Chain A
């Protein structure tokens, strides 16, 4: 089973920041937090990952709490194309680790 808990759905106005929370209270010290998204039935798309420091790339920012028990994915200026199911996954950053997907958060960006 997935080691993460996410709200089933969220709405966000276009152009505003989308903040997607994730709880992972049982995360181990060597486990990373990964975020993927899936648009319709397309393949999951990698967004970002981190261990304990906050991370930012061209798609999003990842804020991880100091105790690492939760994190937030931030899409700074959501567009209609960001409407998707967002998955928060914890796992080791070693070769060959299966990703365990939960149900994710269905983000709807509204014009």
Chain B
């Protein structure tokens, strides 16, 4: 069964450094998402991406964050200058998109996550 993959599984970085988290969405999916979960807290939406553009973003997704689809398979989240409070699990998700014919097409499927630790 196709699945979303993420690398690395764990990233440790120093405060102020740039990190890039990578995701490979399910191959025929058109919508891509990033969520994060600070330890012990809820899963929070960061950003959605469609047709090479950001579709929607939350208040958390400020200027230090950016997303990119550099090629036909990868979807990346860059944090420009990491802060201690960026330490969290980051989950990538993808969905096929709604074709108007089926109720099953916009289900979001999540990857296993990248644990980011900022020291």
Contact surface of A with B, Cβ cutoff 8 Å: 32, 34, 36, 38, 41-46, 49, 51, 87, 93-103
Whether B112 pairs with A42 at a CB distance below 8 angstroms is: yes
Task: State the majority secondary structure of interface residues on A.
Answer: loop
CB distance from A77 to the nearest CB of B (A): 22
* Residues 71-119 of B contacting A (Cβ, < 8 Å): 89, 91, 93, 95, 97-98, 103, 105-113, 115
Chain B binding surface SS class: strand
With contacts A94-B98, A98-B58, A99-B45 known, is A43 near B113, CB below 8 A?
yes
* A90 CB, nearest partner CB in chain B, Å: 14
Q: How far is the CB of B68 from the nearest CB of chain A, in Å?
A: 17
The one of B48, B91, B98, B103 that contacts A44, using a Cβ cutoff of 8 Å? B91
- Complex-state Cα separation, A74 to B61, whole angstroms: 36
Q: Which of A43, A95, A100 contacts B110 (CB 8 A)?
A: A43
- B30-62 CB contacts (< 8 Å) to partner A: 30-31, 33, 35, 37, 39, 42-45, 48, 50, 55-56, 58
- Residue B44 contacts which of A32, A97, A101 (CB distance < 8 angstroms)? A101
Cβ contact within 8 Å between B112 and A43: yes
**Residues of B18-40 whose CB lies within 8 A of A:** 30-31, 33, 35, 37, 39
Q: Which B residues are CB-close (under 8 A) to A51?
A: 103
| B50 x A96 contact (CB < 8 A) | yes
Q: Judge whether B42 and A98 touch: CB under 8 Å.
A: no
